[in-house]
Structure 1
Amino acid sequence: MASLDQLCVNTIRTLSIDAVQKANSGHPGMPMGMADVSYILWTKFLKHSPKNPQWFDRDRFILSAGHGSMLIYSLLHLTGYDLSLDEIKNFRQMGSKTAGHPEKHLTPGVEMTTGPLGQGFATGVGMAMAEKFLSGKFNTDQHKIVDHYTYAIVSDGDLMEGISHEAASLAGHLQLGKMIYLYDANSISIDGSTDLAFTEDPVKRFEAYGWHVQEIDGHNHDEIESAIKNAQSETEKPSIVICRTHIGFGSPNKQDSASSHGSPLGEDEIKLTKKAYGWDPEKKFFIPEEALALYRKEVPKGIALEESWNKLLNEYRSENKELASLFEDWMNGKISENIESLLPDFDEDQKGVASRSASGTVLNALKDEIANLFGGSADLEGSVKTNLKDEGVFSSENSVGRNVHYGVREHGMVAALNGMALHGGMIPFGGTFFVFTDYCRPSIRLAGLMQTPSIYVMTHDSIGLGEDGPTHQPIEHLASLRAMPNVNVIRPGDANEVSYAWKIAIESKDTPTIIVLTRQNIPTFSRTSSNAASLTEKGAYILSDSDKEIPDSILIGTGSEVHLAMEAKAILSEKGIDARVVSMPCWELFQKQDAEYIEKVLPGSVTNRVSVEAGTTFGWNQWIGNTGIAIGIDSFGESAPYEELYSHFGITTEKVVEAVESQR
């Protein structure tokens, strides 16, 4: 190995161990072990532009092993991104750009927030899917304007997590040949040797998934370079390079030990390690000039790559004007201004329609105008109504199909949706049963944290699904997902609210949306200017007002229970009680309204309030106060026809009427 190469590699290592030591917190071992691999990747292969981290045709790089965050922070600083040495020195401190785990939107050059193991692995699959779809849609024989790789560094822990199995299986099935993962096979986890719990053969595992597999010495630069070239030449399979490495490389007493995984090396061991590298043990955060000069070549290299691509794009524009205009709209996140005019207008209908069916109608009304809507389901297309008619199936043979069969892989699906949304150029959605958000929560949570506008279509939203019973009947799910920051949970009360739920989701720039839909039919309400379905965008609105300026009671419903409130209002009117019905499809959007609007919908002087929702009553005190009554379910469900279940659990018009009367 050339001495300059070694100097560059050791610069990554020493920056990492110094930052972890100064913070007295972090994971030094992994950056020390993967410094060779990352150095070769970032200086010889990675297509990126440090001065424009959001350049569209850059390679995507994910540090799935996010605990080793000092690896990517060192690389970003050294190669000229807007990440100063002071930020490196402030690793893990309040307000710094160098958080304990890499965070999207916080650090320039970080493609996604990682830390929960397996998430980066699975999200990268979505990024590779996006590249495959967009290249198929826009590239011509003369102009490949979408042509980049998705790289990730993954760890033993990533491979242990269940989501990696789902994602790897899907990637192999789809033959995502532009995806190259570098596996840090150091055989050490927090508890010690991975042999304690992880003894499978990764070569056989990934070969069985349909991947291209190589095994190398992760400290041999020739082998690293050769392996990445081989992976790039394999166009029909995703690639994994198993890099046999030493965690804590170079540390005389902590190499190959769990003690270097998640704790600082300690001042004495750092001095010994720097001596082993041939460095001055007293220097901290030292960057040799010749090493920095080599790394900073990535700046002009990136500018040249970007200029070359811009020239290519200009040529493309002149020869493919319509496609180029569409590409730029998608690339810039431009959304049709005609969405509202395209939304189906459902007529008043007492019998109504299942909101899942209404959702399918809305999607197909929008798909032609919004041609980057791209989605599917976890083996439930017929149930969740996500099919885009006549748009084909996205597959290894058809890269421009817009329907995806994810198989029974809910968690992998949701992570892939996040990857597509992060990649840009697409509006991804995916569907499954609402109860299975239990399998998806880590990815949904990360979407909220990353401000990623993924769209999750969740049907069979309550005991209303009936005979499948309590294993499939969501109870606590609405409350638990409403508790998640920066996630819009929308439970439409009729078909027209479904239309606007989709408008909200598609127009969202920095918030994921969960659209929660019924299996059973629900009525479609009469609409006027005063209760227009567009008011769904405010989160809650007056669906049917009282005759009085200040009502005697306020009835609040969501989803399939709004019509119970409407029926109760009619009965109460006959009894001389004037009630207002409020539909509240989205708590989060309502909470963002100004105080005047909230007071208009829910005047503080009216304390006689009843909420009705076929889920847990947890959290409803926020809207009904301490004296109001919440009608819901605080136990698991039962297996029976849904009409019987509503009666059995007391979610009925009569119970709403009784609750109002009991407060008078």
Structure 2
Amino acid sequence: MEHATLTDREARLGADTLRMLAVDGVEQANSGHPGLPMGAADYAFPLWHNRLRFNPADPAWPDRDRFILSAGHGSMLLYGLLHLFGYDLPLTELERFRQWGSRTPGHPEYGVTPGVEVTTGPLGQGFANGVGMALATRMAADRFNDDLFSPIAHRVYALVSDGDLMEGISQEAASLAGHLKLGNLIYIYDDNRITIEGSTDLAFSEDVAGRFTACGWHVQKIDGHDFARIDAALAAAQEEEERPSLIIARTHIAQGSPGKHDSSSAHGSPLGAEEVAATRHNLNWPAEPFHVPTEVRDICARRRETLEEEYGRWQDGFRKWRRRNPERARLWDGMWRQKQPADLVQRLLAAVGDADGATRALSGKVIQAAAAAFPALVGGSADLEPSTNSWIKGSQGIAAGTYDGRNIHFGVREHAMAAMMNGMARYGCFIPFGATFLVFSDYCRPAIRLAALMEQQTIYLFTHDSLFVGEDGPTHQPVEQLSALRLIPNLAVFRPADGVETALAWTAALRRSTGPSALILTRQKLPSLAREPAFTPDMVLRGGYVLEAGGKQPDVILLASGSEVSLAVTAAASLREQQIAVRVVSVPSLETFQNQPASYLRKIIPPRVPRVAVEAGRGELWWRLLGVRGLFIGVENFGASAPAEVLAEKYGLTPSQVAERVIQHLRTRRKLFIA
């Protein structure tokens, strides 16, 4: 597409409109960040007008350019752009900035505001999201483009700030982007040299250009207020196809404000009525708040008309492409719509059969069946594939220039891996998974939280799930991580006990399109479990079910997850030898189980029956099921370096120790009842 042009006067008028919309929105809310939008407006308006490809009438158009405001605190800049260029964001919504129920929250949120690609705010996350999107773009292009038409021909743009580049996640993501030669990635670094505390010189003096050049990026430096330099830099970035681009735009925070220019106070506070008036005077701007000149509306309307024409040409080319490529068209539909086979449960269960094994290894078998059922499934690990069993067999790894594989080498970059997965999920077309050890889920947590907030389908494989990791010691033995993950709203956490539960945990994750899932998997081998004749797969999907009934009215109920289910089964057998009727309940997803209807919970856990939970981790979240007179057997301190069997003995997690603790608990309860 031949790019559009603006005269300097038109560019200035559009930029000043963005500036003052940001000023007025923040002032009316008495809250927000006016400084960045005011400084960035001079390059943001030409970028959107001259270079960006989109269609406000079809915000989900697959071949649109993606624009990410990684510096999410500058949200009024994005809201102004979306409004001016015709998205469903009326001026009244800008007037309700940061208010209850508005479509203009303090930081951009996907699903709230039309045209917002990802939820940003925590700095650095948007940077890494964009790398994930750019990788997904290249992967999709290699699958679908032919010699006559390219249904995937777009780029990924982002506005990043000093804070984004200070966060370590940006270095991880930038390194991988350069390594993979993602030349479809164009970032503008708003180099305004101001943070909340003052000048960036207080804590940031590195050679940013040198850093990104060393990572394999194409780097340019410009005056971010010079319209000719801005457009020339964007043109050069678009021509560069082998390297991601960073345009370092030297700007001035609160540009146009006589008293707040280059001031840290403009970063996160309203200008104040007096300074707003001074800014209007300085820009020769009308006193009317939220003023949009008719000329600016006309400029943007003409641009939309041109974009709509291109959109029509793409649709025509796409229709011809579909007729010419029926197999690719079917693949397109299957991946973008993420169609699911009706016999998914049967396929995944068949992959594991009744085999014993570590659930990480059993998960590796399920992945092969899942990949066959879902062409959209792609993923990798943080340099731990041999340990996490996360390779899709029969497919190659992603490498620079070769993007049609399904296996991603993320390297030792857990922060970037999880955030890139969010970008890939938001891109569409792919269901991404990422694997590492459970103890390193702490590195992934900010991105997991955002996936849950955005309701994105990402799948995390966390292996080496307890102190039974053994000799690696407490640095690698998760104790609190399982509970920490369960606390994240809208994250489905599964800790399967054998192959059947592993297959069904994958089933739940693949079916769950409204949020992320985490599969918590063992390093050590586990036995295949025997189940009641009435067992059906949907019981696992409800989060908890009766594994061994123990009669109609058991004396005690043992609840457990993961590797401790087989421990509970063995302990239960010992208790039955002492004439104690024991029901064993497997709870692969604690929060899913707790959210079942009360009638189901009463059926599985009858009232007034003593309850004991066993899990090799912290137990606070079990008490909702246990009640005040329940017992939790777990690990409330850090582990130690020793063989797994030694740790089991030292931490009271052998069958005989569990059985003895249950007997003592029942005796204590009887004494309390008699008293």
Q: Shared fold by TM > 0.5?
A: yes
- Give the Cα–Cα distance (whole angstroms) in 1 for the partners of residues 311 and 504 of structure 2: 39
Which digits, 9 at most, give the CA deviation of each residue in 1:485-535, with x for residues without a partner? 110111101111111111111111111011110000011112455233442
1:576 maps to 579
- Give the Cα–Cα distance (whole angstroms) in 1 for the partners of residues 531 and 371 of structure 2: 25
Task: State how 1:427-506 maps to structure 2 within 5 Å.
Answer: 427-506=431-510
Task: State how 1:326-337 maps to structure 2 within 5 Å.
Answer: 326-337=331-342
1:564 maps to 567
1:35 maps to 41
2:611 maps to 609
Corresponding letter in the other structure for 2:622 = W
The answer to whether the 8 A contact 1:57-1:146 is kept is: yes
1:295 aligns with 2:300: yes
- Give the Cα–Cα distance (whole angstroms) in 1 for the partners of residues 36 and 652 of structure 2: 56
The secondary structure found in structure 2 opposite 1:152 is strand
Q: Greater CA deviation, 549-558 or 515-524?
A: 549-558
Q: TM-score, normalised by structure 2?
A: 0.96
- Give the Cα–Cα distance (whole angstroms) in 1 for the partners of residues 207 and 640 of structure 2: 43
Q: How many residues align?
A: 659
The secondary structure found in structure 2 opposite 1:273 is helix
Corresponding letter in the other structure for 1:312 = G
Q: TM-score, normalised by structure 1?
A: 0.97
1:373 aligns with 2:377: yes
1:195 maps to 201
2:553 maps to 550
User: CA shift at 1:401, angstroms?
Assistant: 1.4
Which digits, 9 at most, give the CA deviation of each residue in 1:398-420, with x for residues without a partner? 11111111111011011111110
The one of 389, 409, 416 aligned to 1:412: 416
Task: State how 1:171-570 maps to structure 2 within 5 Å.
Answer: 171-280=177-286, 282-345=287-350, 346-348=352-354, 352-527=356-531, 529-547=533-551, 549-570=552-573
Which digits, 9 at most, give the CA deviation of each residue in 1:187-214, with x for residues without a partner? 1111110011100011110000000101
2:62 maps to 56
The secondary structure found in structure 2 opposite 1:580 is strand
User: CA shift at 1:298, angstroms?
Assistant: 4.3
1:17 aligns with 2:41: no
User: CA shift at 1:302, angstroms?
Assistant: 3.8
The secondary structure found in structure 2 opposite 1:353 is coil
The secondary structure found in structure 2 opposite 1:585 is coil
Corresponding letter in the other structure for 1:551 = P
Which digits, 9 at most, give the CA deviation of each residue in 1:3-36, with x for residues without a partner? 2321111110000000000111000000000001
- Give the Cα–Cα distance (whole angstroms) in 2 for the partners of residues 4 and 139 of structure 1: 37
- Give the Cα–Cα distance (whole angstroms) in 2 for the partners of residues 332 and 652 of structure 1: 47
Corresponding letter in the other structure for 2:567 = L
1:644 aligns with 2:646: yes
User: CA shift at 1:652, angstroms?
Assistant: 2.1
User: CA shift at 1:591, angstroms?
Assistant: 3.2
User: CA shift at 1:576, angstroms?
Assistant: 1.6
The secondary structure found in structure 1 opposite 2:620 is coil
- Give the Cα–Cα distance (whole angstroms) in 2 for the partners of residues 303 and 545 of structure 1: 64
Which digits, 9 at most, give the CA deviation of each residue in 1:272-298, with x for residues without a partner? 111111112x21111111111212334
Which digits, 9 at most, give the CA deviation of each residue in 1:612-655, with x for residues without a partner? 00001222111111110000001000000111101100112223
1:654 maps to 656
- Give the Cα–Cα distance (whole angstroms) in 1 for the partners of residues 40 and 341 of structure 2: 44
The secondary structure found in structure 2 opposite 1:21 is helix
The answer to whether the 8 A contact 2:55-2:304 is kept is: yes
The one of 108, 111, 116 aligned to 1:102: 108
Alpha-carbon distance change, 219 to 534 in structure 1, aligned in 2, over 3 angstroms: same
Task: State how 1:43-192 maps to structure 2 within 5 Å.
Answer: 43-192=49-198
User: CA shift at 1:437, angstroms?
Assistant: 0.8
The answer to whether the 8 A contact 2:158-2:186 is kept is: yes
- Give the Cα–Cα distance (whole angstroms) in 2 for the partners of residues 570 and 284 of structure 1: 75
2:3 maps to none
- Give the Cα–Cα distance (whole angstroms) in 2 for the partners of residues 461 and 305 of structure 1: 51
1:618 maps to 620
- Give the Cα–Cα distance (whole angstroms) in 2 for the partners of residues 89 and 602 of structure 1: 53
Corresponding letter in the other structure for 1:563 = S
User: Percent identity between the aligned chains?
Assistant: 49
Which digits, 9 at most, give the CA deviation of each residue in 1:102-134, with x for residues without a partner? 001111110010000000001111101110101
In the alignment, structure 2 segments of 5+ residues that lack a partner are 1-6, 671-675
Which digits, 9 at most, give the CA deviation of each residue in 1:393-442, with x for residues without a partner? 10113111111111110110111111101100001111010000111111
Corresponding letter in the other structure for 1:21 = E
The answer to whether the 8 A contact 1:51-1:299 is kept is: no
Corresponding letter in the other structure for 1:597 = Y
The answer to whether the 8 A contact 1:121-1:164 is kept is: yes
Corresponding letter in the other structure for 1:326 = L
Corresponding letter in the other structure for 1:49 = N
The secondary structure found in structure 1 opposite 2:527 is strand
- Give the Cα–Cα distance (whole angstroms) in 2 for the partners of residues 223 and 476 of structure 1: 52
- Give the Cα–Cα distance (whole angstroms) in 2 for the partners of residues 619 and 373 of structure 1: 32
Q: Greater CA deviation, 489-498 or 338-347?
A: 338-347
- Give the Cα–Cα distance (whole angstroms) in 2 for the partners of residues 228 and 604 of structure 1: 67
User: CA shift at 1:167, angstroms?
Assistant: 0.3
- Give the Cα–Cα distance (whole angstroms) in 1 for the partners of residues 310 and 656 of structure 2: 69
- Give the Cα–Cα distance (whole angstroms) in 1 for the partners of residues 510 and 301 of structure 2: 39
